[in-house]
Amino acid sequence: MIATIEYNNRKYIIDLTQPIDISIAIDTTKQNINAWYLDDPKIFPVSDGEWTGSVAQGADVNFNNIQFNPHSHITHTECVGHITEEVFSVNKELSKFFFLAEVITIAPEQLENKDFVISKKQLQHALGNKKRDAVVIRTLPNLSDKKQMQYSNTNPTYMLEEAAEYLREKNIQHLLVDLPSVDKEKDEGKLLSHNAFWNTEGDIRKNATITEFIYVPNKIKDGTYFLNLMIAPFENDASPSKPILYKIKE
């Protein structure tokens, strides 16, 4: 199915039959991605002592409970409510779902303290004068084991505050990263990049989102795509999400 999308007075053609899924699912049959010091997610049949919701165990249906945290166990999209006392729900604040996006690849820089970071200079080089709704950041190295990484207590790559400010100034509304967070794992609660991106010291960007724990396969080239940012309808600061990219046909 071919669709034509008009954006900034220009028409783009995409093939809806060729989606590129950059989400990471919860999969309890193998090691699941994990961060923030929580136990693994669980999917298990309901049981009341006499009946168990499993066809394999004699029930008519499979009837499972799912126990997880979106920030720890799955690709998720969050709004400013993640860091504010005032309650904001991503399900309410995210009301549009198709965006012009730029996929970029960054080799994180190493600071003197040995931290690996995404800097403003790197983003400036990758984005230049391009005007986009969203930016999708793939970090190097980009091995498939990112989909099973155990990030707790590993001090993973993060984004410098100056880089988040730069994206805000470029009016990037939706930031997608293949990391557990845009901020340093242990930063004394400062959350500098979250705060900078959402502009919590000024006119808060309620409609802006951050999506973490994506995975962009190496076969996907850097460049411009259309992004369908789909979320589950949870009234919460964050929700599991399934970002889909579509190539733009020439």
pLDDT for the residue 237:
98
Domains and CATH numbers, the chain: 2-40+69-249 (3.50.30.50)
pLDDT for the residue 16:
94
Could you list the mean pLDDT of each consecutive 10-residue stretch along the chain, which spans 250 residues?
A: 85 94 97 98 95 97 98 98 97 96 98 97 97 97 96 98 98 98 97 98 97 98 97 98 94
pLDDT for the residue 7:
82
pLDDT for the residue 81:
98
* Rounded Cα gap, residues 137 and 14, in angstroms: 21
Tokens standing for 107? Answer: 């080799």
Do residues 163 and 125 touch, judged by C-beta distance below 8 A?
no
Confidence (pTM): 0.96
Tokens standing for 189? Answer: 């609660």
198-205: Cβ within 8 A, 24+ apart = 198/80, 198/83, 198/168, 199/168, 200/80, 200/83, 200/84, 204/80, 204/84, 205/80, 205/168, 205/173
